[in-house]
Amino acid sequence: MVVLVLAGCGGSATHSTSTQRPAAAPSEAYAASLAYANCLRAHGLEHPDPDANGDFTLTPGQEERLKESAPLQQRRKADEDCFHLLEGTVSTKPLSNAAKRAALRPLRDLKQCLAGLGYEVGNPVVQNLKRGRAMFGFDSAGSPPVTKAARAKQHDAQITCEKQVKLAQRLDEIIKLDRGEAR
């Protein structure tokens, strides 16, 4: 189980993904993000449009479609070819150590919720990635479900817990505060 919050392009397998608020004005950020989404689609990816602020928030279904629309190598190449459209409109600043520590709290809450539903995950992990992206997840996902029905049930439990602990909203707020972009 891995949860990602990305600047620019969604790419996790199991969680609603969102960008941090752009540094540019909303109309400028929206135009840049829309150009980025269109570029990704031109590269064969099923990427949704941004919201009015230029932020991308992908539902689990959109995450799956994005993942299934093209192999990882093609998704990486598309992001590499299109990311220049976002330059100057999204922050590429890595998260501070304080923000990474703060992000562990909602991940611990997610872990506790999942345990209450019978699913064990590893220890919470937050890591900076390139281009201001960060990975939020767990160092292991416990034993993977064997059947398709069991995987679907675990996926539903994860979505339920993410909503219950308001994971996406809490992580977005930590990122925005860390980068001086609080609304």
The beta strand positions in the chain, using DSSP E, are 2-5, 17-18, 57-58, 124-128, 134-138
Q: Which two tokens stand for residue 153?
A: 């049930």
Least confident piece of the model among 93-102, 116-125, 144-153, 159-168: 144-153
Cβ atoms 82, 44 nearer than 8 A: no
Please list, residue by residue across 88-113, b when 16 or more beta carbons sit within 10 angstroms of its beta carbon and e when fewer do: ebbbbbbbeeebbebbbebbebbbeb
Counting beta carbons within 10 angstroms of the beta carbon of residue 167, is it exposed (0 to 12), middle (13 to 18) or buried (19 or more)? buried
pLDDT in tens, 86-122: 988 888 889 999 999 999 999 999 999 999 999 999 9
Question: CA 104 → CA 16, 86, 142, distances in Å?
Answer: 17, 28, 18
Which residue in the block uniquely carries the two structure tokens 């031109």? 42
Distance from C-alpha of 159 to C-alpha of 178, rounded to nearest angstrom? 26
> Is it the case that residue 173 has pLDDT exceeding 50?
yes
